Amino acid sequence: MTSKVALRPDQAAIVACTISRDVQNFDLLIEDMEAELGEKWGDLTFRDALSFFGQPEAAGLEFVAVALDGEDEGELALVSDIIRTANEKKIKVILIAEDVGPAALHQLLRLGADDFCPYPLPEGALHEAIQRARSPVSARAAALSDDGAAPVPVVGGGNREGAVLAVHGLAGGVGATTFAVNLAWELASIGADNEKLKKKAPRVCLLDFGLQFGSVATYLDMARRESVYEMLSDTANLDADGFTTALQQFEERLNVLTAPADMLPLDIIAPKDVTAVIDIARRLFDFVIIDMPSTVVPWTETVLSAAHLYFCLLELDMRSAQNTLRLKRALQSEELPVDKLRYVLNRAPKFTDLNGKSRVKRLAESLDIAIELQLPDGGKQVMQAGDHGLPLASAAAKNPLRREIAKLAASLHEIGQDAAEAA
């Protein structure tokens, strides 16, 4: 392998190139390119790439692997030009990055990079990216996911128009993610033990929109995939195949979109990106559960508008009361659909705690809200289930919190069935 493509006219036709500041900084990339292509590839610097694209030899390129590290963030304008020019020439672009910030990656992927691999390259990652680049059909559907598991199959077509249920914690630690995870699991488990009902069981998707501290992956002991970030970064070209490739299955029942592997700014996705994800999820699943960040962001309005029900979790304390009032005022000032909000009191007083029941009543009256669901304190079993990556139904089936969530899931499913029959 030489450092210039143009110096090898007598060799086999060049079908690919690496483009980098110095390819010697990416020794694993060199090894994988040689393993995949032998002598049918070359190397270009950032400065040489644009001029080479104008030469006749570039017509035979299938793809380029653009490799950059943290030192190259100052060259983003040049790298962007390379990606745009490659797209114009119908050359696929595989982006390979090491220690590059999420914002920079987001920008480059939006410009039209076809695939992304982290560096150091995981075993087989470049091979799979090349296969996707060469595939004439939807590459993401045929590709294996980041951890080697097959993509989630699309079952039942794409015309379900599922119900969207969002979950928003009004203060830290109120149990919003616990509620979202267990509600999704209970819905996905309806009819699981009955062979007659199993075929009619609802298909459920759980979306973790906590881009910074989302913990659905932790609560279900799942890996955080790079494909999640890739999917969110290119929603303009998102289809059912690309969406399902980013999903994982828990116990072959619940489909989950985890938070990305890296902590990302909440504004890295826009309302239109969220709309694209929700629309596809609704077409593929009967129930779409969205675990929202506690922070209100520009796309919170998007989720609220798309949701059939928007569960707001709070506790019997002053911080929850103040935050509830602030959220309610903010939504009303923007004339947003506050009627979709369903207030859920977690760790509610026991039935025999008359003083606690009185406090709940006063809280609701002072905030002018209806607390429609009161969840009991699940105790240490809730924390233990989360630490072990299991829903409460698997870790502590008789837990009082689990029973209440199961009742809610059964009620939601029944309402959904009645609505489907009426339609």
Return the domain boundaries, the chain.
5-134, 163-422
In sequence order, the β-bridge partners of residue 344 are 313, 373
> What b/e sequence results for 236-262 when a residue is b if at least 16 CB atoms lie within 10 Å of its CB, and e otherwise?
eebebbbbbbbbbbbeebbbbbbbbbe
State the first-to-last Cα distance of the chain, in angstroms, to the nearest integer. Answer: 64
Phi, psi (deg, nearest 5) at residue 36: -85, -40
The CATH-assigned architecture of domain 5-134 is 3-Layer(aba) Sandwich (3.40)
pLDDT of residue 12: 57
Give the C-alpha separation, 253 to 259, whole Å: 19
pLDDT of residue 303: 96
Give DSSP secondary structure letters for 373-387. EEEEP-THHHHHHHH
pLDDT of residue 159: 55
pLDDT beneath 70, residues of the chain: 1-12, 135-160, 193-200, 418-423
Torsion sign (Cα): 169, 274, 391, 413: positive
Dihedral in degrees, nearest 10, Cα atoms 265, 266, 270, 274: 130
Q: Which pLDDT tens digit goes with each residue over 266-302?
A: 888 999 999 999 999 999 999 999 999 999 999 999 9
pLDDT of residue 266: 82
> Comparing 5-134 with 163-422, is the CATH topology the same?
yes
Helix (H) or strand (E) holding 240: helix 240-246
CATH 2.10.109.10 fits 163-422, yes or no: no
